Structure 1
Amino acid sequence: MPPKRKSNVLEPSVDLTADESQQEAATQARPAMKKARTSDVAESSSTGAKKGKGKAKVEDNAPNNWWEVKLPGEDERGVLVFDDCNEIRCKIRLLQKEPGFKVTHWLQAIGNINNNSYQRFMKATGPTGGASNGTYYSAYVYFEKVRIATGKKKTAKRTRNEAEYKAGMPLEDRKTVWIMGR
């Protein structure tokens, strides 16, 4: 009767009645086991470890996962947003290039965002195009948590926006705002 599992076939069978030379020949004849594939992306994002030059060093007290990070104002009034919509769309496109990335799983993880809402946000243009969309806020919170979890520094544009918008960037598309005057 043939073995039911592949692992049973690959394991060497030791014959206690055979002499040592026959046992050595049997163990040398077996095929080499394949090494399991691992992804650098999943490993670095889950542990917070970074490779290469130019990356910030991870602090020892930094959380391992992005969902463990708590941002100021996350529970009560909401997180202040300091990246514009174009910056968030650029970060999303970079995230999509990572191997094994699935948009639907990511949308579920960042706040159960509807795919139609995501598509409308990605099609919008301009620094405030799509600012009232829920994808913008949820993606910003995700990227901010990932930045903190990995120990990266704020960009120059981000620090300029913090200085200019003390109360955070407005979460409304300026193209659709009416201004009434005399």
Structure 2
Amino acid sequence: MSPAEKSAPKSRKRKSDAATDGDTTAADAPAPKKQATKKAADKKDPLPDLSEIELPGDDDMSVAVWDTGDIVRTKIRAMLKKEGVTKAVFLRTIVKAAYPAGSDHKIAPNLLTNFRNKKGPASGDTSSVFNAAYVFFEKLRVRDGKPKTKMREEMEEEWLTGMDTKQQLDGWVTCLAGEKPHIDKYGKTRFH
């Protein structure tokens, strides 16, 4: 066989006009629709919708925070242990509780992981997870009619207008020679 008679090697790529053999019905037919599962429709949301409960500062997202990062992390851990509560469900619920109705704000799962991995009362104080989770848990406390804890009352005395969530509280501190800064259980920097 001469080189001119040899056919060109076949391409492994699929041709868009490959269905020219008269088999156009398979190419033109739409894919079958998936049936909605009854399981998803019957599922009850594992966390309550607290968006109807109003807290002072809810309208402009300036709710005063009177829990430390450690307290909020403890509450988050307990909530995530409940059956049916996944990280995604929890994040959607706290966004719905903390942000105005109709908001398309989302909190990425890695922010939840980062916040949960921190340690210390002031660690993570600027995190959107901290603020949204606090609002959710406070609305839950109000809905259930539970009293304030002793620590919460102490926090209200220490932080008259609520814990600072705009500035990082566990960052750099300038002090005099001989002073040793530390963060107390309320998230405040003290010197001794």
Bin the TM-score by the shorter chain: 0.5 to 0.7
RMSD: 2.4
Give the structure, 1 or 2, with the largest relative contact order (CA under 8 Å, sep 6 or more): 1
Q: Deviation per CA, 1:148-180, whole angstroms, max 9, x where unpaired?
A: 111111100001101111011111332213437
Correspondence for 1:177: 172
Letter in 2 for 1:175: D
Distance 2:170 2:152 in 1: 22
Q: Deviation per CA, 1:115-153, whole angstroms, max 9, x where unpaired?
A: 111111011110001111110000000000111111111
Q: Deviation per CA, 1:51-77, whole angstroms, max 9, x where unpaired?
A: xxxxxxxxxxxxxx5221010111136
Higher helix share: 1
Letter in 1 for 2:159: Y
Correspondence for 1:88: 72
When structure 1 is superposed on structure 2, of 80-89 and 146-155 the one drifting more is 146-155
1:147 is matched with which residue: 133, 141, 166? 141
What 5-or-longer segments of structure 1 have no aligned partner? 1-37, 47-64
TM-score (norm 1): 0.62
1:119 is matched with which residue: 113, 119, 131? 113
Give the number of the structure whose alpha-carbon radius of gyration is greater: 2
What 5-or-longer segments of structure 2 have no aligned partner? 1-42, 96-105, 178-192
Report the number of matched residues: 125
Q: Percent identity?
A: 31
- 1:160-171 to 2 correspondence within 5 Å? 160-171=154-165
- Aligned partner of residue 174 in structure 1, secondary structure: coil
1:135 aligns with 2:129: yes
- Aligned partner of residue 170 in structure 2, secondary structure: helix
Correspondence for 1:57: none
Contact kept? 2:80, 2:90, Cα under 8 Å: no
Structure 1 stretches of 4+ moved >3 Å: none
Q: Structure 1 residues 135, 90: closer, same or farther in 2, change over 3 A?
A: same
Contact kept? 2:68, 2:122, Cα under 8 Å: yes
